[in-house]
Amino acid sequence: MHRWGQLLVTAAVFAGVAGCDGLETADTDGATDGAGGAAATPGTVLLLVDVNPEPFCNTVGVTGVQLIARRVGCESGPPAPCTLPAEPTTIEGDLFTCPNTDPSTLMGVEVGQGGRYEVQTVTEFTTGESEARCNAQGGDPEIVVLASEVEVGTVTMLDDADVPCP
């Protein structure tokens, strides 16, 4: 389990112990944006997607689903003022295996550099093949992460939308 997943569990336990008084406690380990109490460590941005495992796991031959990110561009648009590799590095995030009967699973991937990212939900099959679909922010599959967001550690909630990957 990734560090933020452990923070989610800790936050959920704390919320259950603290009761429902409508007050939020300050998070000193990172910034939150109301995404289920998830926190990002300064120096990273946590990209989250709320996924319904049922459609994935009800598909014959699916073994699991993983969230991944790839830095596909510079923070500011083209022309690129930065150097990018010919093949973007894959940053692996959370995964779940099938069968999975949870009605909703919060999946995340941490990135540590400003830029433009493509975040994909990748379905793995028993045949060894995989199928990817892009997630979006406001309908845009190119997620812009600012260096200033990385510096303070923010959480960004993405849409669980099946949008075409660029």
pLDDT at 11: 35
User: Could you list the pLDDT tens digit for every one of the 166 residues in the chain?
Assistant: 444 443 333 333 333 333 322 222 223 334 444 455 678 889 999 999 999 999 999 999 999 999 999 999 988 876 767 788 889 999 999 999 999 989 899 999 999 999 999 999 999 999 999 999 999 998 899 999 999 999 999 999 998 767 878 7
pLDDT at 38: 75
Phi then psi for 91, rounded to 5 degrees? -105, 115
Q: What is the DSSP string of the chain?
A: --HHHHHHHHHHHHHHHH---S-----SSSB--SSTT--B-TT-EEEEEEE-HHHHHTSTTEEEEEEEEEEEE-SS-SSPSS---SSPPEEEEEEEESS---S-EEEEEEE-S-EEEEEEEEEEETTS-EEEEEEEBTTBSEEEE-HHHHHH-EEEEEEEEEE---
What kind of fold does domain 43-163 have according to CATH? Immunoglobulin-like (2.60.40)
